[in-house]
Chain A
Amino acid sequence: MNYTIRICGEAGQGIQTTGEGFSRLFSSLGYNVFSFQDYESRIRGGHNFYQITFGTDEIFAPKKFLDLVLTFDKKGLEYKNLLRNNGIVIYDANSLKQNEYDERFINCPFRELLKNAGLKNIYENIVSFALIANIFSIDKKYVYKVIHDIFVNKPDEIIEQNMKAVDIGYDFDMKKKINLPASNSEEKILLSGIRGIGIGAIGSGCKFYSAYPMTPSTGVFQYIGEHAKKFNIVVEQAEDEISAINMAIGASFAGVRAMTGTSGGGFALMNEALSLSGMTETPIVILLSQRPGPATGFPTRTEQGELLYAIHAGHGEFPRIVFAPGDPFECIHLTNKAFDLAEKYQIPAIILTDQHLVDSLYSYKKDLKIELKNRDYRLRSTDFENYQDYKRHKFLDFNKSNPLTPLAVPGDSKQLVFTDSDEHDEVGHITEDGEIRKKMLERRYFWKIENIRKYISPPKFYGNKDSKIVLVGFGSNLGILREIVNNKKISVCAIHFSEVFPLPIRENSYEFLNIISKSNLSICIENNASGQFQKLVESEYGFKFSHYIRKYDGRPFNYEEVLEDIYAIL
């Protein structure tokens, strides 16, 4: 069982607050929740919606059909063709100046109710929130709690007015009830991609985060900013992305874990310094949160159009890691793994995600197990002082388990730390010597690439491994893959990659290749026009997918549409 609610209206009408309120309400009652946002690049006006699916089923991706539409604008009335059986639309005919005579439309005079109570129109989202909670017969005390939690940092007066609005909505008799089956499970927690990456970064000891705001990466910047004081993190808004990444590289060189975050346009500006990180072997973690391009593209929408760019960005030859987490839980772990491998191998690591994942909420059990790998690879204080003959870029020493010279903290010893964006010798100084250049490439490039691959995990399998239909995807499409696997109509196996570059070594990929080779249909699914992931996997493993499903209208896949696409292929 699951229900889908869509809340629609103009930017500035409190759509997001209401949507988050419902997500919290249902997860606190123990239901599984998945919610996502669809918004325009403007602060007021336009048409936005927030969609929440909740229920006792597992839910990981958007649904196409709706059970309840709450709309604060006329455009929302058009969604009647998406209503499921018994679906309803709640609206305020007076304020929309439009009357609908279809019995599925329920007119509720939010504004009039507010006026009678002497409250401003801005509380109409709270009134409707309480009203809907009542339709679902949810006890008022939970409604109070959620609203209270949302406004906890506001002045008492604001909280009071909100509570008054709750009463108005809850007590209004809609003559309509929906009986929810009991959730019979415990309170859940909600994580978004933003929180996942933020938690992963803070837990990995990120001490410096510099960025220039760009949707949809800004959420992580702000999340880390909110926690900067408590966790001793310096967060700086740089003058541009060029500065942001160079600052982070400077901080990393000086001895702290550093990160920057941006979207495609900003990442383009960072390319030169991405290559600087490769050359100077200074670790850095870069969040690349995709939106549709090229150029400024669709600022608030979603796409997986920068996979090949992330892999190839930067001039010259140097290794990097690209991880594309599939859900907030993977965001935590892969951000941690990015920090760990970036430092262990002294390279840049990229977290590749997109608007869909960062802005969506997923529910998890409260006792979610987070296991982070936290090892400090740096040479500090007395260890550095006592280190023999430190050379930042010493040729590989194969007598050691990690033959790279450790990163040392400048100033912690009388020995010096020097590095250079020009080709350099072992100490880090400029050189024009061809032999040294060769040895440096062996250190900086070949050895690293070969070794990093060993740490790359194989893809994860979902569903029936013997199925003749195999669906393969990466990154934020994990949700849709899992939804398709859970459907009871067709048997499929889904394979999801979240560690996309370098791809895992062949020995770790046998199972994947086996399943693909035994299948009748292998379908690569991705949110872009050119099939970037398909190209990558095919060229790496030398096979051809039989089919693909691609979506590039700036919106995420939804369950029903992918199912239809699979039927069409069948």
Chain B
Amino acid sequence: MRSYKGFDNDTVPAWCPGCGNFAILDSFKKALFELGIEPHEITLVSGIGQSSKLPHYLKCNGFNGLHGRSLPVATGISVANHKQKVIIFGGDGDTYGEGGNHLLHAFRRNPNITLFVHNNAVYGLTKGQASPTTEFGRRTKAQPFGSLSEPLNPIAFAITMDCSFVARSFSGSPEHLKNIMKMAINHEGFALVDILQICVSFNKVNNFEWYRNRVYEFNADYDLSDKLKAFEKSQEFGEKIPLGVFYSNSRLTFEKNIPVIKDKTLVSMQNFPDIKSLMD
């Protein structure tokens, strides 16, 4: 492959002009290219939402499944074939809403999967309802009295659960995003990258200017495996929004913990065993 354009699959994305998803797609292609990964070496998994359409717009193996269910599908794929790089794209609704339970347990299992969340603090595909990261009190057509639940802090949540790589980036900082993506893909273990994403159609509050005035890139001045320091950093969100890697550890992955697939992939062991011993 000569350039990252080799990942193009000539499909015109069904996203609104100006949507942050374009930059995320672009950064991802560049990250893959710079890592020297070939399309057939990755399997992209997604759920449902604008963000979840991303795998359709580049060359890859892929499973675009149900709303909120990308994690279990990806876990099944990764266990069956841990030689594949399994990467998920989802939205904040998809991942933190419908898929919340799976996220909780993915943190515990620590599969070797990279999860990119397009966090636009709104439901895009279903036209503007509040999401789990929408600020308290924001009114929408479906939330006439404002969103009455406190927003989720995915970074803090992930750190609390010992997620093995936790980072934040921004669709408006493509270079930063690309570099974080590379680190996340290379990380062995479950990696969550929360990507602040601009939705030009439904999120008029957290627009480009709003983020520009707040985000700043940081390099942790603490040991990245220091959970308490990382947690403290994760509390910073408001006037200042840090972008970077908050936390990382080197826990054994789910796949490595399964003795059956220690030496070989499960898919390479597909066979029809002799069951005589079971009949005694």
Binding site for B on A (CB under 8 A): 189, 195, 198-199, 202-205, 207-208, 210, 227-234, 236, 238-240, 242-244, 246-258, 272-273, 276, 280, 368, 370, 372, 374, 376, 378, 409-411, 413-422, 428-430
Contacts and interface: CB of A to CB of B under 8 A. Distances in A.
Contacts of A419: 62-64
Contacts of A276: 65-66, 69
Given A249-B73, A250-B74, A255-B267, A421 B65 contact: yes
Contact of A417 (B38, B41, B61, B259): B61
A254 B65 contact: no
A292 to B, nearest CB: 28
A258 B273 CA distance: 15
A230 B38 CA distance: 35
A199 B38 CA distance: 40
Residue of A195, A254, A255, A417 ringed by the most chain B CB atoms within 10 A:
A254
A229 B259 CA distance: 8
B177 interface: no
Contacts of B59: 416
Contact of A418 (B41, B62, B74, B79): B62
Contact of A232 (B40, B69, B260): B260
In the complex, the 4 A-B pairs of residues with the closest C-beta atoms, listed nearest first: A250-B76, A246-B72, A254-B80, A410-B61
Given A189-B280, A276-B65, A411 B273 contact: no
Contact of B77 (A198, A204, A236, A250): A250
Given A239-B105, A254-B77, A280 B65 contact: yes
B272 A203 contact: yes
A415 B273 CA distance: 30
A421 B270 contact: no
A420 B53 CA distance: 10
Nearest to A204: B272
Interface in B244-280: 258-261, 266-267, 269-273, 275, 277-280
Nearest to B270: A256
Contacts of A420: 56, 62-64
A529 to B, nearest CB: 33
A254 B260 contact: no
Contacts of B104: 239
Contacts of B275: 199, 202-203, 370, 372
A320 B149 CA distance: 41
Given A208-B80, A376-B272, A410-B40, 8 more contacts: A205-B273, A207-B269, A230-B277, A243-B101, A258-B76, A272-B66, A411-B83, A421-B66
Contacts of B273: 202-203, 205, 231
B72 A238 contact: yes
Contacts of A374: 272
B150 to A, nearest CB: 24
Contacts of A234: 79-80, 258, 260-261, 266
A254 B267 contact: yes
Interface string B41-52: 101010010000
Contacts of B40: 410-411, 413-416
Nearest to A245: B72
A430 B75 contact: no
A429 B267 contact: no
A368 B72 contact: no
Contacts of A413: 40
A253 B63 contact: yes
A226 to B, nearest CB: 10
29 contacts: A199-B275, A203-B275, A204-B272, A208-B76, A208-B266, A231-B273, A234-B258, A234-B260, A243-B71, A247-B72, A247-B79, A249-B73, A250-B74, A251-B77, A252-B80, A253-B76, A253-B77, A254-B78, A255-B80, A255-B81, A276-B66, A410-B43, A410-B77, A414-B38, A414-B39, A416-B61, A420-B62, A421-B66, A422-B64
A253 B73 contact: yes
A136 B40 CA distance: 68
Contacts of A410: 40, 43, 61, 77, 81, 84
B3 interface: no
Contact of B62 (A233, A244, A428): A428
Residue of A199, A247, A257, A258 ringed by the most chain B CB atoms within 10 A:
A247
B60 interface: yes
Contacts of B75: 236, 243, 247, 250
Nearest to B45: A250
Contacts of A228: 260
A242 B72 contact: yes
A543 to B, nearest CB: 41
Contacts of B76: 208, 210, 246-254, 258
B219 interface: no
B56 A429 contact: yes
B126 interface: no
B182 interface: no
B102 interface: yes
Interface string B237-248: 000000000000
B213 interface: no
Contact of A430 (B53, B66, B73, B84): B53
Given A238-B72, A243-B105, A411-B83, A251 B278 contact: no
Residue of B271, B275, B277 ringed by the most chain A CB atoms within 10 A:
B275
Contacts of A207: 80, 266-267, 269-270
A257 B77 contact: no
B253 to A, nearest CB: 14
A245 to B, nearest CB: 8
Residue of B48, B55, B69, B259 ringed by the most chain A CB atoms within 10 A:
B69
B43 A236 contact: no
A242 B47 CA distance: 14
Nearest to B274: A203
B185 to A, nearest CB: 16
Nearest to A228: B260
Nearest to A413: B40
A272 B67 CA distance: 10
Contacts of B280: 189
Given A233-B260, A253-B77, A409 B63 contact: no
Given A208-B266, A410-B84, A418 B60 contact: yes
Interface in B157-201: none
Given A411-B81, A420-B64, A205 B271 contact: yes
A229 B53 CA distance: 38
